[in-house]
Structure 1
Amino acid sequence: MALGHARLAIQDPTAAGAQPMGDAGQGLWLVCNGEIYNSPALRRELEALGRRFVSRSDNEVILHAYAQWGRACLPRLTGMFAFALWDETRQRLWLARDRMGMKPLFLYQGDGVLAFGSEIKALLAHPEVPRALDQTSLGHFLGLNYVIAPRTLFADIRQLPPGHEMSVAADGRVATRAYWDLAFASRPRLRPAQWRARWQETLAEVMADHQLADKPVGLLLSGGLDSSAVAWWMAQTRADPIQSYHFRPMQSGFDESRHARLVARDLGLALREVQLAQPLTTLLPRLAHHAEEPTADGSMVGVYALAQRAKRDVDVVLCGDGADELLAGYPTYVAARLLPLYARLPHSARRRLAKWAAQPGPPAAGKLPWREKLARFAYAAAMPPERAHAHWRIICNRELRQTLLAADAREARRVSVGDAYAACFAQCDDAHPLNRQLYVDQRLYLANDMLVKLDRMSMAHGLEARVPFVDHRLAELAAHTPPALKLSPALQGKTILRQVMRGRLPKPILTRPKEGFGMPLGTWLREDLREMTGDLLAPSRLRAMAVWDEQAVTALLNAHLRGEIDAAYPLWSLLFFALWHQQWMTA
C-alpha cells in the first residue's frame, strides 16, 4: 500500500495539515482532495466526544470521524471531496467521492494491482496501466462532448461515480455502493413565502460555509443571475472588496461585460476583465493536457484564462455553476413545456415550419442562432418527451456520428445517446416531467461536463474552485421545491432564486434571459485555428487514429471553412479528440 499527495493548502497551510495525514494510534492514513465545509461543527462534536486534534485542517476531521463512527461518518460530511483512507488494523482501503461529483476519483484495477488518483495522469504513470481507447466512451463523447461516468476514454480506467464509496480488502475483495442519490419524494407543504424563507436561510448558510479558508477567496463573475447571487451573498460577510474575474471575448455577440460591470458597481466588487493572454494554438494543447479527457466544451478556454488570472490574487474562487440544473435555467425546459402546444398546430403548419428551420443558414456570428434552435425543437417534436430532451442535449446527431466514424469503429457506432439518457431517467424517483429532466441533467451534463471543466481548468493553476449551488443541501432543497417555483407558468426559469434576490440585485440582472458562457468556435476554426485544425485532422492523422472516416471528416471541415455550413461543434469535438490522441495515445 502506498499513498501520495500533492497539496494545495487552503485550510491550515502549516506542516500540521500535510498529507498523507496519519493517526498512528489508530493505524489510519488519509489522502484527500477537496474541502469539508462543515468541519468546524464536526470538530466541536468530535472534541466533545474526547477526540484530540493536532491541526486546524478540515481533513483531520475525516480521520477522527472515521475513528469515531466508522464508514457511517460519510453522510455526516458536507463538502466537495474525493479521499482514500487506509485502515491498518482492518487491512482495508476505503475510497469515497462527494455526492454531486465535484471532485474526481479515477481507478485502475488489474492483476493484483489497484491504482487510484484524482488525475488520470497519476494512473498512467504506473507501468501496468495500459493506454487503450474505450470506443463506447468515444460514442458518448462524439454525441455529447463529454464521457459518461463511470467510464473514461481509457478502456482500463474508470471513475468512482458521484455519491459512491468503495471498500477494498487486503485479499482483493472489492465492494462498491451508492451512499446518496437525489430524491424528490419528500415535498413539504409550504406557502410561497415560506419557500422563499427556506431558500434564503439555506443560501445564507451554504454561501458562508463555502468561504471557509485560510487563504484569499475570490469570485468568477459572468454577470448572469447565478454568479451575481453568489456575489451578493459573499458581499454580506466581507468588509473588503471581493476580487472578481470576468472573461471578455474579443468577438461581438459573446460579450457580457456590461452586466458584470453593473453587478460590480452595485456590490462594490473589485472587477478584473480577462482576455486570452496567449494564442489559441499554444493554449489548446495545454487544455488537452490538463483536461486528460477531451471534454470538448469550448468555454474551457475562458475558464482556463480566468483561473490563470485569478491565481495571481487568490487561492480560492466561488462561481455560479449548477443553478441552471437545479432550478430549470436552460431553454430546453421551456421547450419541453411548449411541446404539447406545438403539437396542436395543424400538421401542414408544423411541416412548413420544420422545413424552413432545417434549411442551412449562414454561419452564426454569435451564439446558437434561433433558426437552428427551432430546427432542433421541430425535429424532436414527434419524439416521446424524454427522448426529445435527450435530443436537445446532443451535440452531434446519430446520422452525423455514423458518417464521421469509420466502419471499423463498431462499438462507437453502436452507441445510442438516447439509451444512455433513458437509463438515467429510469433512476429518478419522481414522476413530474420537469423534475425528471433536472435529475438527468444533474447526473449527466452537470457531473460530466460542467464540473469536470471547472475542476480541471482551475486545478491546472492550483486554484480551488467552489460551487455553492452544487452543495447537496441546495440540491436537496431544489428537489423538494414545487416545480412551479423552478419554472413558472410564464416559462421563466429559476423562479424562486429570482424571488429571493429581488431587491438585492439590479433589475436588469433579475430579468435578463439565459445566455450561457459561449465561445466563438466557428470563427476560431476558420481563422485562429485554421492551420492547426487542418494539420490535426489531415487524412494521414485521421488514418493513424483508426476511428474516423477520412473523407467524411475532410468534407465536413472543408464545408465549414468555406462558410457553407456551421459545423463548429462537431469539428471542435474532433479537434479536441485529435489533441487528446496526440498527447495520450501516441506518447
Structure 2
Amino acid sequence: EDCPEHLLGDFAFAIWDERKQTLFCARDHFGVKPFYYYFSNNTFVFGSEIKAILCLPQIPRCLNEARIADFLYPVMENKSITSYKDIFRLPPGHSLIVSKQNSVRLHSYWSLEIGEELRLNSDEEYAEAFRDIFTQAVRCRVRSAFPVSSHLSGGLDSSAVSCVARDILREQGSHLHTFSNIFDDVPECDERSYIDPVLKQGGFIPHYVSADKLGPLSEWEHFFQHIDEAFIGPSHFLTWGLNRATQQAGIRISLDGFDGDTTVSHGSAYFAELARQGNWTTFIEEGKAVSKHFDTSLSAIFRQYGISYLEELAKQGKWLDFAKVVHQISQHFQVFPKKLFVSHGLKPLLPESLLQFHKWLRGEKSQLRNTFLINSNFAQKNHLNRRIQAEKIPASVREDQWLSLTCALFTHSLELVDQSSAAFSIESRHPFMDKRLIEFCLSIPPEQKLHQGWSRMIMRRAMNGILPKEIQWRGGKTSMSPNFRRGLLHLDRKILDEVVINNPTDIQEIVALESLHKSYREFISDKQMAEDHLMPVWKSVTLALWLHQTEIKP
C-alpha cells in the first residue's frame, strides 16, 4: 500500500491482494494516466476509459450537472467527479482500497506543497540545477525499443524537449523524429521561421502536417468516440492531426512540451506580490520591460494586478489599506484618488442590477453580461455566482503556480491528451510533468521566473547553447486563433449552424439560447469584438455534440 510513495513517473494500476481479499488501486502524482471507477452496492468497476465502464448495462448514464457547470464557467473545484453522476475519477496522488466488505477507502499518498523557497548562490547555479533535472526528465522518457518522436511547434517548450532528446538519442546513435503543424493557407499561424533553426542543428527526421486543411469540428464524431467528457480544447484538433501522422509513420512514442508554461511559470503573479508590497517602482520597471518583449502594456499589467488588488481590499472592507494603496497608485501612475475610490472602491460593491440601471440612465448600451452563456436556472442550481465571487488574484507567484498545477482543469487536460494519443495507439510522454522538475520549479524565487521583462528566465538561461538564440529569447507565442476561427467559419460552418440555429434543444436547459444566438451572430460577423464570443460558442457547440453522441439528456 505504500508503493506509490516510492514510484516516479506516470502510472495507473490495480492489484488484487489474494491474502487480504482487497483490490489496491493507485494513480500517479499529477494524473498523467487516467483511472475511473464506479461503485455501488456490491459492484466495483474500474478502467482507464469511461466508455469501458459504460459497456456494462447496469451502469447508469446520468449527466453530472456540476461537472458541466465546471466546464462552462470554467473553474473546476472537484477533482473526483466526471460528466457522469455515478462514475468517478481517482484523483492524482491518491490510492484506493476496495474490500469485499463493500467499502472503498481513498487515501492521499502525496500532494504538491509550496514549501520553503530554494535559495542558491547565483543565477548560474539555478540554471545549472534546472538543466540537470530537465535533462533527467527527458532522458527517462526517451527509453524505448522503438523510434521516438517529438512534437515541435517552434515554441520554447517543445523546442527544448526536442533539442535535449536529440542530444540524448545522438549519444545512442539514433535520430529524433519531429512532427510539426504548418499553415500555408493561414501564414500568420505558421511557425516555420522558428521550427527551421531547430532542425538546422541536425539530428532530426522532420515530418509536417498541413493543419489548415482540417477544421476544429470536422471529425467531431471520431473525437467523441475516444474523448469521454463533454469538452475539448480549441487546439485539440491540431494535436489530433499530429498523432495521426505519427501513427502513419509507424512511431509509438511521442514527446511533447505539454504545459511547460505552468511547470516553469511565466511569473506574472510577481506583479501581485509587488502590488501587495507597495513596491510600485519595481512594478513599473518590470512592467515596462515586459511590454518590450511581449504583446502587452504597462497599463494592462496595472489593470490586472494593481487595480484587482485595490478592488480586493474594497471587497474585504480594508479601507485604511485601500486608502494607502490609492495614495501610492496616484503618485506613481498620475491617477486622481477620487476616480480610484469611485471606480474601484464603490463600484465593485454595487449590485450588478444597479450598475446596469446606471448605464441605462446615461444612455450607454448594456453589454452582454452572461459571458459564459449559462442558463440562469442552471447557474443558480449549481451555485455559479458563489464561484465567481470567490475568485481572487493569487497573492504570490508560487501560490499562482501551485493553484494552476493542482486544479482539476490541469488533470482534465492531461486526460484529453492521453485519450487523443490512445486513439492512434501512441504513448505521449511529458517531460514537463516530471515530479522532480515541478517540485524544483515551484521552489525557486519569483525573480528566477520573471526578470528584466523576460518570463521563464531560469529556463532561458538553462537552455543557453542548446536552443537556437531565436528560440531561447523568443518573446510571446504565435496565436492559433486565426486558423481556429477560419476552420470553424469556412470548414465547419454547417455543423455550427445545425447546432446553434437549427437544433439547439439538447442544451437549452444548460445554455441561455438567446445569449448563444447573440454571441453566434457577433462571431460570424467578422467584427473585431467577435473573439470575445468565440470560446462560449465553442463550448456550447461541443457540449451539444457530445450530448448528441452519448445520447445523455440533461
TM-score, normalised with respect to structure 2:
0.78
Deviation at 1:78, TM superposition (A): 0.9
Aligned pairs for 1:119-158 (under 5 A) are: 119-144=49-74, 149-158=79-88
Aligned to 1:105: 35
Aligned to 2:444: 481
Alpha-carbon contact 1:217-1:316 (below 8 Å) kept: yes
Distance 1:160 1:300 in 2: 24
Deviation at 1:399, TM superposition (A): 3.7
Distance 1:523 1:88 in 2: 57
Deviations 1:452-487 (A, max 9, x none): 332121111111000011110111111222222122
Aligned to 2:155: 224
Alignment CA distance shift 1:408-1:232 (3 Å): closer
Match of 1:95, SS? strand
Aligned to 2:467: 505
Alignment CA distance shift 1:401-1:416 (3 Å): farther
Moved more, 176-185 or 249-258: 249-258
Deviation at 1:505, TM superposition (A): 1.3
Structure 2 residue 264 is the aligned partner of structure 1 residue 327:
yes
Amino acid at match of 1:205: Q
Alignment CA distance shift 1:163-1:400 (3 Å): same
Query: Which consecutive unaligned segments of at least 5 residues does structure 1 have?
Result: 1-70, 346-367, 389-396, 426-431
Aligned to 2:542: 576
Distance 1:309 1:492 in 2: 35
Deviations 1:321-366 (A, max 9, x none): 2321122137x54664686799979xxxxxxxxxxxxxxxxxxxxx
Amino acid at match of 1:533: L
Aligned to 2:349: none
Alpha-carbon contact 1:140-1:415 (below 8 Å) kept: no
Structure 2 residue 529 is the aligned partner of structure 1 residue 563:
no
Alpha-carbon contact 1:326-1:475 (below 8 Å) kept: yes
Deviation at 1:245, TM superposition (A): 0.5
Distance 1:72 1:148 in 2: 25
Q: Relative contact order: is structure 1 or structure 2 higher (C-alpha 8 Å, sep ≥ 6)?
A: 2
Match of 2:73, SS? helix
Query: Which consecutive unaligned segments of at least 5 residues does structure 2 have?
Result: 282-293, 314-366
Alpha-carbon contact 1:498-1:510 (below 8 Å) kept: yes
Amino acid at match of 1:407: N
Aligned pairs for 1:67-216 (under 5 A) are: 71-144=1-74, 149-192=79-122, 193-216=124-147
Aligned to 1:36: none
Distance 2:276 2:100 in 1: 57
Distance 1:405 1:75 in 2: 44
Aligned to 2:255: 318
* Identity over aligned pairs, percent: 24
Match of 2:515, SS? helix
Distance 1:414 1:407 in 2: 10
Alpha-carbon contact 2:5-2:109 (below 8 Å) kept: yes
Deviation at 1:141, TM superposition (A): 0.5
Alpha-carbon contact 2:114-2:402 (below 8 Å) kept: no
Aligned pairs for 1:291-310 (under 5 A) are: 291-310=227-246
Match of 1:158, SS? strand
Deviation at 1:298, TM superposition (A): 0.8
TM-score, normalised with respect to structure 1:
0.74
Alpha-carbon contact 1:148-1:448 (below 8 Å) kept: no
Alignment CA distance shift 1:115-1:196 (3 Å): same
Match of 2:514, SS? helix
CA RMSD of aligned residues (A): 3.3
Alignment CA distance shift 1:312-1:374 (3 Å): farther
Alpha-carbon contact 2:214-2:487 (below 8 Å) kept: no
Deviations 1:87-122 (A, max 9, x none): 111111111110011111112222222211111111
Distance 1:77 1:398 in 2: 50
Deviation at 1:204, TM superposition (A): 2.4
Deviation at 1:85, TM superposition (A): 1.0
Moved more, 575-584 or 270-279: 270-279
Aligned to 1:63: none
Alignment CA distance shift 1:385-1:215 (3 Å): farther
Alpha-carbon contact 1:132-1:585 (below 8 Å) kept: no
Alpha-carbon contact 2:215-2:237 (below 8 Å) kept: no
Distance 2:435 2:552 in 1: 40
Distance 1:374 1:513 in 2: 19
Aligned to 1:383: 308
Aligned pairs for 1:532-551 (under 5 A) are: 532-538=495-501, 540-542=503-505, 546-551=509-514
Moved more, 557-566 or 157-166: 557-566
Amino acid at match of 2:546: W
Alignment CA distance shift 1:530-1:145 (3 Å): farther
Alignment CA distance shift 1:543-1:183 (3 Å): closer
Alpha-carbon contact 2:32-2:418 (below 8 Å) kept: yes
